[in-house]
Amino acid sequence: SSSRRGARMSNVTVCVRFRPLSHKERKANADNVCFRKLDSESFVFKDEREDDVVFSFDKVFYEDAQQSDVYNFLAVPIVSDAINGINGTIITYGQTGAGKTYSMEGPSILHCNEQKTGLVQRVVDELFICLRSSAGTWTVKLSMVEIYLEKVRDLLDLSKDNLQIKESKTQGIYIAGATEISILNSSDALENLSQGIANRAVGETQMNLASSRSHCLYIFSVQHGSTSDERVKMGKIILVDLAGSEKVEKTGAEGRVLDEAKTINKSLSALGNVINALTTGKQNHVPFRDSKLTRILQDALGGNSRAALLCCCSPSPSNAPESLSTLRFGTRTKLI
Ligand code: ADP
Ligand code: MG
């Protein structure tokens, strides 16, 4: 409705993406899906255990949506703002297997055709196109970190496994000691990104972890001095591939599994609360300090910034309860 649109004055875009059914899902439930499409912004969600619910978002990407569709809608404005000194965040949320990493990295960050290229590489490509076509000087730096059990690990240097978050007048919020690599072009970026992704896998094997239980952050810091304006503009773009939002069985989970679940749950609710506070105008009570994730995102979400949340869902009726919980998270971030 128009009144609801009117309330959406914030700079947070909330979108949903239903990936295609997997072979396994198709085998179990044929072509059945848990939603009925209404239009490009809304659908009826069907779960046999609950009443049908209509959901509306800024945009809904159905199974046939291309990576470029997602990129064009939610990332293009963020890139063009970053070179003008406005911070931006793109976050993928959803249960494990819902398509978060596919949306960010494509099927593989190094080996994928142009059509399947994910958000991270598209952001990088566009960033360099924008910077090269602008008069003036620029630098782009890349950091990559992982947050696991509230510890921040440097994915560009695995020896740094407990980085601290600090704040300064000149830099704003920053991760002290995190490796920052100057990148000059797309292939340079890609090489370092894939190194970070490979390091993440190495760390996981060493510690016997699953990547679905940690948050992965790709951080691009852009400095841009235009000729028409004396001031050097600093903008950050942070892409966040969140830990899986699925609930663990309350009974049975113990030890590390339970710790992981509690920590993930805490940081995801902190994220939801922060976005909600920002979008509903409760700007003086934003609980950034409730988790490492929200603390790192503080100046990329608050203040002069733009953010996009992509809620990733399986289309399968078998995953309906988790999809419903993801959709509710997306809705909660926007409304009181
Ligand atoms: P998550 O990161 O949320 O755990 P993934 O991105 O790894 O989930 O996706 C799970 C599986 O589904 C992967 O095999 C991935 O290639 C596939 N997949 C996800 N989204 C899409 C999509 N839009 N199109 C085709 N395959 C997809
Ligand atoms: Mg993943």
pLDDT digits (tens, 9 = 90+) for 212-224: 999 999 999 999 8
Interface predicted TM-score (ipTM) of this complex, two decimals: 0.99
Identify the three-state secondary structure at position 207. Answer: helix
Ligand in nearest proximity to the CA of 118? 1
Q: What is the pLDDT of residue 327?
A: 97
Q: Is 107 in the pocket of ligand 1 (CB under 6 A)?
A: yes
Rounded to whole angstroms, how far apart are CA atoms 176 and 75? 27
Q: Is 99 in the pocket of ligand 1 (CB under 6 A)?
A: yes
Determine the distance separating the centroid of ligand 1 and the alpha carbon of 225, expressed in angstroms: 39
Rounded to whole angstroms, how far apart are CA atoms 218 and 100? 14
Determine the distance separating the centroid of ligand 2 and the alpha carbon of 97, expressed in angstroms: 7
CA-proximal residue: ligand 1, atom 18 (nearest) = 99
pLDDT digits (tens, 9 = 90+) for 270-303: 999 998 888 877 777 889 999 999 999 998 888 7
CA-proximal residue: ligand 1, atom 5 (nearest) = 99
Determine the distance separating the centroid of ligand 2 and the alpha carbon of 211, expressed in angstroms: 7
Ligand in nearest proximity to the CA of 100? 1
CA-proximal residue: ligand 1, atom 10 (nearest) = 97
Probe residue for ligand 1, chosen from 19, 22, 71 as the CB with the greatest number of ligand atoms within 8 Å: 19
Task: Please list all protein residues whose beta carbon sits less than 5 angstroms from ligand 2, which is an ion.
Answer: 100-101
CA 78 to chain CA mean position, Å: 13
Determine the distance separating the centroid of ligand 1 and the alpha carbon of 9, expressed in angstroms: 32
Cα→Cα distances 301→182, 277, 280, Å: 24, 11, 13
Rounded to whole angstroms, how far apart are CA atoms 309 and 74? 8
Rounded to whole angstroms, how far apart are CA atoms 121 and 189? 8
Q: What is the pLDDT of residue 256?
A: 85
Rounded to whole angstroms, how far apart are CA atoms 320 and 45? 9
Q: What is the pLDDT of residue 8?
A: 31
pLDDT digits (tens, 9 = 90+) for 34-60: 999 999 999 999 988 889 999 999 999
Determine the distance separating the centroid of ligand 1 and the alpha carbon of 4, expressed in angstroms: 32
Ligand in nearest proximity to the CA of 104? 1
Number of C-beta neighbours around residue 82 at 10 A:
28
Q: What is the pLDDT of residue 227?
A: 65
Cα→Cα distances 139→6, 91, 133, 192, Å: 38, 24, 14, 16
Q: Which residues of the chain have pLDDT under 70?
A: 1-10, 227-230, 250-252, 335-336
Helix intervals (H) in 45-149: 67-74, 76-82, 100-105, 119-133
- What number does the ligand 1 atom closest to the CA of 94 have? 3
Determine the distance separating the centroid of ligand 2 and the alpha carbon of 254, expressed in angstroms: 23
Q: What is the pLDDT of residue 2?
A: 29
Q: What is the pLDDT of residue 163?
A: 98
Ligand in nearest proximity to the CA of 119? 1
Q: What is the pLDDT of residue 101?
A: 96
Q: Is 102 in the pocket of ligand 1 (CB under 6 A)?
A: yes
Nearest Cα neighbor of 57 from 4, 99, 104, 21 is 4
Number of C-beta neighbours around residue 133 at 10 A:
8
CA-proximal residue: ligand 1, atom 11 (nearest) = 97
